Amino acid sequence: MPLSGEVCVVTGACGFLGGKLVRLLLEEEKLTEIRLLDKNIRPELIQSLEGCRGEAKLSVFEGDIRDSELLKSLCRGVSLVFHTASLIDVTGAIAYSKLHEVNVKGTQLLLEACMQENVASFIYTSSIEVAGPNHHGDPIINGNEDTEYLACLKFPYSQSKKEAERLCLNAQGEMLQNGGRLATCALRPMYIYGEGCRFTLGHMRDGIRNGDVLLRTSKPEAKVNPVYVGNVALAHLQAARALRDPEKRSVVGGNFYYISDDTPPVSYSDFNHAVLSPLGFSIQERPSLPFSILYIICFLMEVLKAVLYPILRFTPPLNRQLLIMLNTPFTFSYQKAKQDLGYAPRYDWAEARKRTTDWLASVLPRERERINAK
């Protein structure tokens, strides 16, 4: 059901996914207003949205997700919230206390504001990392929402996302001030790639430093299913439409959905090669060291980090949990999202790959110059 006439909020609106979602909403829906919340508003992004906003009003709120008064003002008169804002940390560089403050406490405060201000629908951007992989590296091939798996999450980031997702789903059916009920759902995208992805950009930079040879950190058989950012944004829109439909609302509310697309299952390292090989990058045939040796090195580095913590703070580029994540087959189907939300990927692998590679090509000269100047 279309979102015509609605007033909605997008948190993390200037982020990698948030910016794509705002643009999609402007292009495909006749919304009355979109309120953009971000801690760091990017004027160039806001200006670029002006050309596609039509009659919709764009309201900018620059501030912290932990500011409860700001959140109440943000949610006043709103019917729908997309909560994409999050601190992302895969190396352990950010203290758990800060991750909890932003990812968990921020979500709780936003949900409370929604209930106080009579927001009808809440969509949370979760992560594949709330599912695993676990510290044993147990694989999942083509899993779904009913797949049983003992996660045993070790990453502070993964733990914070899992807690925030639980808050979101537990808020399903909560009473609003006007007597209505809040409907919530959570989307669990796979590794998101596309134009603006800082992780792909980071791997390209490492490749430049290594003479245009990409470092291999994952075994070829450790296949995952990356998902293009444009398809993830579309899944959010489809979830919002489903929550507005009285018949689908009761089916979707309180549930989580895995979001993938038709990108071929591939290891993380081979995915980087797939989008960078047209630009002349090659890849190592095998990791520099066997997995078992890398695991021991990661363990020793974590011990050293803990010992030196009171005196010196440093973050190893690789830790055991990240090593396991990079080397565990972990793929999921989007069929439940297709069934309940009406989600179907809009961008196939060929187009998604081309868009990503074209973006990388556009920034490659600047990155080469910056790195070679050092």
DSSP assigned state of 215: P
- Decide if 309 is inside a domain: no
Average pLDDT value for residue range 303-321: 85
Angle at 175 between CA 173 and CA 180, to 5 degrees: 90
Instruction: Tell me the average pLDDT across 265-291.
Output: 95
Helix (H, G, I), strand (E, B) or coil at 169: helix
Q: Is residue 1 part of a domain?
A: no
In a domain, 28, yes or no: yes
In a domain, 280, yes or no: no
Tell me: pLDDT of 52 over 80: no
**Residue in 233, 218, 260, 227 with CA at minimum distance from that of residue 356:** 227
Higher pLDDT, 202 or 4: 202
160 assigned to some structural domain? yes
CA 318 – CA 277 distance, rounded (Å): 24
Cβ density class 182-198: b for 16+ within 10 Å, e for less: bbbbbbbbbbbbbbbbe
Task: Give the domain extent around 39.
Answer: 7-197+226-264+329-347
**Residues of the chain with pLDDT > 90: what percent?**
81
- Summarize pLDDT for 114-173 with one digit per residue, the tens: 999 999 999 999 999 999 999 889 999 999 999 999 877 778 899 999 999 999 999 999
Q: Are 34 and 59 in contact (CB under 8 A)?
A: yes
pLDDT in tens, 83-106: 999 999 988 888 889 999 999 999
CA distances from 264 to 142, 188, 223 (A): 12, 18, 9
Active site residues: 157
Q: Say what the pLDDT of residue 314 is.
A: 80
In the chain, the number of structural domains is 1
* pTM score, whole prediction: 0.95
Specify if 73 maps to a domain.
yes
3-state SS class at 186: strand
Q: What is the CATH number of the domain that holds 50?
A: 3.40.50.720
- Res 53: pLDDT: 67
Of 127, 34, 130, 116, the C-alpha closest to 81 is 34
HSE toward the beta carbon, residue 145, CA cutoff 13 A: 19
CB of 11 within 8 A of CB of 18? yes
Mean pLDDT of the chain, nearest integer: 94
Query: For residue 270, is it within any domain?
Result: no
What would the pLDDT profile of 232-273 be if each residue is shown by its tens digit?
999 999 999 999 999 999 999 999 999 999 999 999 999 999
Residue 181 covered by a domain: yes
